């Protein structure tokens, strides 16, 4: 029997004070974690979460940076004694929760709560597809063969089959497409490797666990599957806690969209060909149709023009070349569906291919005959494309799921409110009358930070805007001695700024795209005086504490591009229903995005720094007040000399602290010498 299994059951708190005591100065976490700090905001959030779990109710909580929301929901999740699903925004946060934070809380509470980590199927090795890739011998380049052998060697050693374990094969290596499965190509219980399947194993462990940690993509994939009647991946639960909840509306829109991509079609053709060669050798017309499908997909991509486009489908669907290839694609899919109907009985693999062609055929028909309340758009890449039909409003769909799960719901993030209101967020997800709690950051922004709005910056649409941003930033960067994030709302502005900044400052410059985000952050911390230029992926989820990051410069207020096809359709829909798209949608979304970017600056009690927002609309437009009222209370200035004085004071204080510490060290050395002299006497 393990040590954990001998632990006594945890006593469930009964009163508000019982809940708060768990994170109090004499509580179990304070006793277990060195340097644990008691925070009233954290205790208030813990009670709100515990209350929701006790009463099977819903709560929406904004917890500013430094509140410690992770412990504030993990402690009641375990203490409640029920089964809890916790979903996070990224797999990185998911891994941290499961591998670091949950074990800490379990140890502090002295509980044997059983936990499980569950990821999407693409994160697990599929032994059936790996073996097929080995026997087919379709790889002839050295790199793929090396990767294939490394995966095969790792297969016999791994317990979980989580491909993140195998760092020697890059996550974006092509081989993973042949060694993992998708919902479309998985054979399910008919797979010969079903009993040893890593996905099945992970789901079984999740079904038996008290606390299951997932990410939003898996969570919504499960909801989408339930919507289509295929069953559920996640266990039934007493409570669902959704962290980084500000991401939910966009992720939900993605998962409740219909997508037909060139990758799906070519992967289908590849899988069907392998099954046909093995089980339908007497059907050469099937192989011919698959070849026609591959050619049609490539011709359709060529007809779509240049890569990097993300536009409404109506802009190109009437072009003769597009009409021709779409009609051709429809004929080929219908023909393949008829042939696979006949071939399906020959093997489970061909039966699966028949089900996949039905789904892809229906998605093409939906694109040509759209449902009400959806927008059709397309996206092009260098050699591929996606055709997407996205619902404009997921509130009713999400509300239906909220009501169908008879459990407690807790939605939390550092950025949910606009001003002091949650209305924008709750309206988008269809949540009615939840308990609401707005907790400000416990950090002392008033004494530790400064907001600088540079004067004489032109409007963002002006051709001189980016040069003016760079010109205003250089003195700030020099005063800060590097140690700066420059956050942009577009790659165009980022690249222009990078070119202008080069050779104008004496600090290392790191530009997004030169290497991975993880490598950039690691290098930024190590250098200690670098200037990092990034776009949207650096606005949230990036945590750099200490002096290495002492300044965040934001080029402009992060309004979404009006050219985005989904945004364009939402604006049109709101306007047609008599609403105000700017006030109801565009402004609230921009406020939440800005709060994420601002949150990069102060990550710790001891952090100090300057926030620079270059967009003049913060001062000149009436809606600038909405942005300012949503940010932490911080001194503001439009004078460069105030910024320089701020950094000079920080530098002097640092030198004073260094001198004091040096003096203490000298005194200790002298004391030791005196002690030795006394001993000799």
Query: Which of 640-665 are b and which e, b meaning 16 or more Cβ less than 10 Å from the residue's Cβ?
Result: eeebbebbeebeeeeeeeeeeeeeee
Q: What is the CATH number of domain 4-114+396-439?
A: 3.40.50.300
Q: Output the six-digit token pair for 187.
A: 């054979």
Residue 662: per-residue pLDDT: 53
Q: Which residues contact 471 (CB under 8 A, 6 or more apart)?
A: none
pLDDT value of residue 379? 95
The rounded distance, in Å, linking the Cα atoms of 20 and 46 is: 7
CB atoms within 10 A of CB 351: 17
HSE toward the beta carbon, residue 18, CA cutoff 13 A = 11
Residue 427 is predicted with a pLDDT of 94
Distance of CA 129 to the CA centre of its chain: 28
Q: Which of 182, 163, 181 is nearest to 225 (CA)?
A: 182
Strand order across the 310-312 sheet: 258-261, 385-391, 374-380, 310-312
Strand 509-511 relative to strand 531-534, pairing = parallel
Evaluate whether the domain defined by 258-391 bears CATH number 1.10.287: no
- 3-state DSSP assignment of residue 145: helix
Chunked into runs of 10 residues, the chain (681 residues) has average pLDDT values of 42 80 92 90 95 94 94 94 91 88 94 91 93 82 90 94 91 88 85 92 91 92 66 75 95 90 94 91 94 97 92 94 96 96 92 94 90 92 94 90 87 94 94 94 94 96 96 97 96 95 93 88 94 92 90 96 89 92 95 94 92 96 94 95 95 70 50 49 42
Q: How many helices (H) and strands (E) does the chain have?
A: 28, 18
Distance CA 60, CA 417 (A): 10
- Give me the pLDDT at residue 190, please: 85
pLDDT for residue 5:
38
Q: Which of 216, 190, 401 is nearest to 200 (CA)?
A: 190
Contact 361, 378 (CB under 8 A): no
Q: How far apart are CA 268 and CA 354, in angstroms?
A: 10
Parts of the chain belonging to CATH 1.20.1440: 258-391
pLDDT at 681: 42
Instruction: State whether the Cα torsion 89-91-93-99 is positive or negative.
Output: positive
Other CB atoms within 10 A of residue 182 CB: 17
Superfamily of domain 445-650: P-loop containing nucleotide triphosphate hydrolases (3.40.50.300)
Task: Determine the pLDDT at residue 678.
Answer: 47
Residue intervals in the chain for CATH 3.40.50.300: 4-114+396-439, 445-650
Tokens read off for 36? 């644990």
Phi, psi of 608 (to 5 degrees): -140, 150
* Helices 262-279 and 284-303: angle between axes, nearest 10 degrees: 170
> Residue 657: what pLDDT?
61
């Amino acid at each position: 029997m393990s040590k954990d299994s001998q632990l006594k059951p945890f006593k469930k708190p009964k009163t508000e004070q019982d809940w708060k005591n768990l994170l109090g100065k004499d509580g179990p976490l304070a006793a277990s974690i060195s340097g644990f700090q008691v925070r009233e905001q954290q205790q208030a959030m813990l009670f709100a979460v515990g209350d929701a779990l006790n009463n099977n109710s819903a709560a929406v909580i904004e917890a500013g940076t430094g509140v410690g929301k992770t412990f504030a929901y993990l402690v009641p999740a375990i203490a409640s004694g029920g089964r809890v699903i916790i979903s996070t925004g990224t797999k990185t946060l998911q891994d941290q929760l499961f591998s670091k934070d949950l074990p800490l809380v379990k140890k502090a509470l002295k509980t044997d709560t059983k936990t499980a980590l569950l990821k999407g199927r693409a994160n697990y090795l599929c032994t059936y597809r790996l073996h097929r890739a080995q026997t087919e011998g379709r790889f002839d380049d050295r790199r793929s063969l090396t990767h294939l052998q490394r995966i095969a060697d790792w297969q016999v050693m791994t317990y979980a089959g989580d491909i993140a374990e195998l760092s020697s094969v890059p996550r974006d290596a092509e081989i993973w497409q042949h060694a993992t499965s998708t919902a479309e190509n998985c054979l399910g219980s008919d797979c010969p490797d079903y009993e040893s399947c890593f996905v099945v194993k992970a789901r079984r462990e999740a079904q038996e666990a008290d606390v299951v940690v997932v990410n939003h993509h898996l969570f919504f994939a499960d909801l989408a599957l339930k919507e289509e009647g295929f069953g559920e991946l996640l266990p039934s639960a007493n409570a669902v806690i959704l962290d980084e909840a500000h991401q939910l509306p966009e992720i939900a829109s993605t998962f409740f969209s219909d997508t037909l991509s060139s990758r799906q079609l070519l992967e289908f053709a590849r899988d069907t060909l392998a099954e046909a060669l093995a089980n339908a050798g007497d059907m050469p017309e099937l192989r011919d149709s698959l070849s026609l499908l591959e050619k049609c997909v490539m011709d359709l991509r060529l007809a779509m023009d240049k890569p990097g486009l993300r536009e409404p489908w109506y802009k190109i669907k009437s072009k003769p070349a597009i009409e021709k290839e779409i009609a051709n694609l429809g004929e080929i899919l219908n023909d393949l569906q008829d042939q696979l109907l006949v071939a399906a009985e020959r093997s489970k693999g061909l039966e699966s291919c028949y089900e996949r062609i039905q789904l892809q055929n229906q998605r093409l028909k939906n694109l040509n005959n759209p449902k009400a309340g959806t927008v059709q758009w397309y996206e092009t890449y260098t050699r591929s494309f996606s055709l997407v039909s996205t619902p404009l409003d997921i509130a009713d769909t999400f509300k239906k799921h909220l009501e169908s799960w008879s459990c407690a719901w807790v939605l939390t993030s550092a950025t949910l409110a606009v001003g002091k209101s949650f209305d924008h967020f709750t309206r988008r997800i269809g949540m009615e009358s939840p308990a609401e709690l707005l907790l400000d950051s416990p950090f002392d922004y008033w004494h530790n930070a400064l907001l600088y709005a540079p004067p004489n910056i032109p409007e963002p649409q002006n051709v001189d805007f980016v040069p003016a941003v760079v010109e205003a930033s250089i003195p700030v960067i020099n005063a800060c001695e590097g140690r700066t994030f420059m956050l942009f709302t577009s790659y165009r502005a980022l690249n222009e700024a990078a070119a202008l900044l080069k050779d104008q400052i004496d600090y290392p410059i790191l530009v997004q795209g030169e290497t991975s985000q993880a490598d950039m952050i690691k290098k930024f911390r190590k250098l200690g005086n670098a200037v990092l230029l990034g776009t949207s992926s650096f606005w949230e989820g990036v945590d750099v504490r200490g002096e290495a990051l002492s300044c965040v410069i934001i080029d402009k207020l992060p309004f979404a591009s009006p050219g985005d096809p989904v945004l364009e359709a939402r604006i049109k829909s709101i306007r047609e229903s008599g609403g105000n798209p700017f006030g109801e949608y565009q402004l609230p979304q921009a406020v939440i995005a800005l709060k994420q970017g601002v949150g990069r600056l102060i990550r710790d009690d001891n952090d100090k720094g300057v926030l620079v927002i270059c967009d003049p609309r913060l001062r000149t437009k009436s809606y600038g007040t909405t942005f300012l009222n949503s940010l932490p209370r911080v001194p503001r200035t439009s004078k460069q000399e105030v910024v320089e004085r701020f950094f000079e004071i920080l530098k002097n204080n640092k030198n004073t602290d260094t001198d004091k510490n040096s003096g203490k060290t000298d005194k200790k050395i002298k004391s030791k010498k005196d002690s030795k002299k006394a001993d000799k006497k």
